[in-house]
Amino acid sequence: NEVRRLSEEDPNIILRVEDISDEDMQIYLNAVDVMAFPFKQVLTSSSTLLAMSFGRAVIVPRLGCLPEMVQPDAGFVYAPNDVDDLAAAIEKAIAADLSAIGTTAAWRAGAHTWRDLAFGTLGVYDNA
């Protein structure tokens, strides 16, 4: 597997291919500066929203509702299936003020609560 080979060649990369318990998830989310989600197909992503709720900038493909959820002030969006655009998004993240972006990401994630979703859905039915 190419990912395993590349990770073995770089001492800065620790590859862990395993399930992460709910209790341990916060350890990983607090340890990263940015999270990349190289989805090939997706409409929405709770993992992206979870990362944002931890104040992490995210890198996502321009698929489904992700571009709406991840505005430029909360992360980086790239063209799906375009390795060069993904690499450019990673380079932008490296050069960015990830602390400020993470703060905005957390604020945006807070705007997507179950309560807000319920009231939004109710509003659709009220206007139907």
| 125: pLDDT strictly greater than 90 | yes
* CATH 3.40.50.2000 corresponds to the domain 29-126: yes
| 113: pLDDT strictly greater than 80 | no
pTM of the model: 0.81
Q: What is the per-residue pLDDT across 21-65, written as a single tens digit (0 to 9) for each?
A: 999 999 999 999 999 999 999 999 999 999 999 999 999 999 999
- What pLDDT, on a 0 to 100 scale, did the predictor assign at position 3? 85
Percent of the chain with pLDDT over 70: 99
Domain spans of the chain, in order of start: 29-126
- What pLDDT, on a 0 to 100 scale, did the predictor assign at position 25? 94
| Dihedral angle of Cα 97, 17, 85, 78, to the nearest 10 degrees | -70
- Sign, Cα dihedral of 13, 19, 41, 48: negative
pLDDT confidence band for 67 (50 / 70 / 90): very high
The total of other beta-carbon atoms located within 10 Å of residue 105's CB is 29
Tokens of 63: 């698929």
Q: What is the per-residue pLDDT across 13-27, written as a single tens digit (0 to 9) for each?
A: 888 889 999 999 999
**Which H helix or E strand runs over 60?**
strand 57-61
Are the beta carbons of 48 and 69 closer than 8 angstroms?
Answer: yes
